[in-house]
C-alpha cells in the first residue's frame, strides 16, 4: 500500500466522494449537486486523499476572513486510525491561514468521540451545542480554533 497523497478535489472525484459520503453520513449525506456547488465557489478549498490511486477521504473549508468554516471531513472506515483525517485537517487549517483567517469553526456530532478528539488535539474548543442539528436526538457541538 502506498503512502496517502493529498491533492485538490476536482469534479471527477465526486462519484468516489459520494461513495464515502453515503457510507459515513447515511442520514445526512450531501448530494452530488452540493459538492458541485462547493467546488464552484471561489471561497472554498476542497481536498481528497488517495491511497494506491483511489480516493479514500475528503475535506473542505470555506475561507471568508476573518473566519473559516470547516464544511466536511470524511475518511473511509477501513482507513481510520492512519492519520488521514489529521493530515486533511492540517491542509484545511493551512488553507484558512493562507486566506488570512484568524479563527476556524466547525460542527461535529456530539457523540463522535473520535472526531472530537482529533479537533481537540488540533486546538479546537467547544463553544456551543446545537440541539437536533443532525436530526432528532442528534446534537452538534460547535468548535472553534483561534489563530495559530
| Cα atoms in the Cβ-side hemisphere of radius 13 Å centred on 98 | 11
Residues 136 and 64: their CA atoms lie apart, in Å, by 30
Sheet with strand 103-109: strands edge to edge? 5-8, 44-51, 54-64, 67-75, 103-109, 140-146, 125-130
Task: List the catalytic residue out of 103, 119, 133, 138.
Answer: 119
> Which residues on adjacent β-strands are paired with residue 14?
none
* 107 given a catalytic annotation: yes
Residue 119 among the catalytic residues: yes
Residue 84: phi, psi to the nearest 5? -65, -45
Q: Which of 107, 133, 134, 138 is catalytic?
A: 107
What is the distance between the alpha carbons of residues 51 and 114, in angstroms, rounded to a whole number? 21
The residues carrying an active-site annotation are 107, 119
Amino acid at each position: 500500500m502506498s503512502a496517502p497523497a493529498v491533492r485538490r478535489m476536482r469534479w471527477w472525484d465526486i462519484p468516489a466522494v459520494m461513495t464515502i459520503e453515503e457510507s459515513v453520513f447515511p442520514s445526512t449525506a450531501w448530494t452530488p449537486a452540493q459538492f458541485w456547488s462547493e467546488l464552484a465557489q471561489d471561497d472554498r478549498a476542497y481536498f481528497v486523499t488517495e491511497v494506491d490511486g483511489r480516493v479514500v477521504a475528503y475535506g473542505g473549508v470555506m475561507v471568508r476572513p476573518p473566519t473559516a468554516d470547516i464544511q466536511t471531513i470524511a475518511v473511509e472506515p477501513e482507513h481510520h486510525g492512519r492519520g488521514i483525517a489529521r493530515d486533511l485537517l492540517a491542509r484545511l487549517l493551512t488553507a484558512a491561514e493562507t486566506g488570512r483567517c484568524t479563527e476556524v469553526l466547525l460542527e461535529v456530532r456530539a457523540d463522535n468521540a473520535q472526531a472530537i478528539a482529533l479537533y481537540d488535539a488540533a486546538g479546537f474548543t467547544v463553544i456551543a451545542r446545537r440541539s437536533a442539528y443532525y436530526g432528532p436526538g442528534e446534537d452538534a457541538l460547535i468548535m472553534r480554533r483561534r489563530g495559530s
